Amino acid sequence: MSRHNFRAFARLLAPLCVLIAVAGGALWASCDPNDRSEGGLDKSFLRDAAAMQQLGLPVYWLGTEFTVDGNVFRGPHVSEFGAEVKGGGMRMSYVLVGGNTPAYLTVYTRPAWELVRDRMTNPTTRGAVVRAVSVVGRDAELFSAPGGTRPLNALWLIVDLSDVVVVADTNAGGAVRLGGPDYNPFINNPDLLIQVMQDLRPYPE
């Protein structure tokens, strides 16, 4: 390419580069996981929590951070466009620091719970098992299910708290090394999910 043609090409390319940079910056801003309020909490979490409280219902959470088996999970994170539950409620996530393995916490209103009760308590996955446990002094149920070649692929813990039903759930994140433990500590030891949920409490405590 001649010097003249190269300069002409560069002039044509410059506006496109600016457009890409602006669009990329806008996309990064809209996906910023650190969209926090002045108090440090996720703004979308505060929005959905306020909606629940306006209904006179408690919002249960695990604080802003918890540690399990030496692994730190931080949250709660809620989708910018809402993680509302059909029938009423909210869904939040806590993400493993240094990884992308999430643990989810969903607060269902009674009407919302009736919409999903059968699916949650009667899983169709072959090999799924349920175990009676206790969480914050309440009877609870811990479900586990295999998936593909994984003997344990999904966990969910159901706690009925009268006004609302809270479900904690998480999935396998893949083995750290072939034949080794999973990236998700809860998959390595389901009892850890029961342990963490003992700290379940109403927001903003």
Of 62, 60, 63, 57, whose CA–CA distance to 87 is shortest? Answer: 57
3-state secondary structure of 102: strand
Q: What is the mean pLDDT of residues 50-71?
A: 96
Name the pLDDT band for 56 (thresholds 50, 70, 90). Answer: very high
Is residue 17 pLDDT above 70, yes or no?
no
Q: Residue 149: its pLDDT value, please? A: 85
Per-residue burial over 130-165, b = 16 or more CB atoms within 10 Å of its CB, e = otherwise: eeebebeeeebbbbbbbeeeeebbbbbbbbbbeebb
- pLDDT beyond 60 at 111: yes
Q: What is the pLDDT of residue 199?
A: 98
Cβ partners under 8 Å of residue 102, min gap 6: 93, 94, 95, 96, 170
Fold type of domain 37-202: Protein Transport Mog1p; Chain A (3.40.1000)
Task: Give the pLDDT confidence score for residue 2 in this predicted structure.
Answer: 47
Share the mean pLDDT of the chain.
Answer: 84
Residue 9 in this model has a pLDDT that exceeds 90: no
Q: What is the average pLDDT across 193-203?
A: 98
Give the pLDDT band (50/70/90) at residue 14: very low
What is the pLDDT confidence band of residue 30, given thresholds at 50, 70 and 90?
very low
Span 138-165, pLDDT tens digits = 999 999 999 988 999 999 999 999 999 9
pLDDT band at 29 (very low <50, low <70, confident <90, very high): very low
Q: Is the peptide bond before 181 cis (omega within 30 degrees of 0)?
A: no
Residue with more model confidence, 179 or 37: 179
Q: Does residue 5 carry a pLDDT above 70?
A: no
125 vs 18, residue with greater confidence? 125
CA dihedral 184, 96, 112, 56 (to 10 degrees): 140
Percentage with pLDDT > 90 across the chain: 69
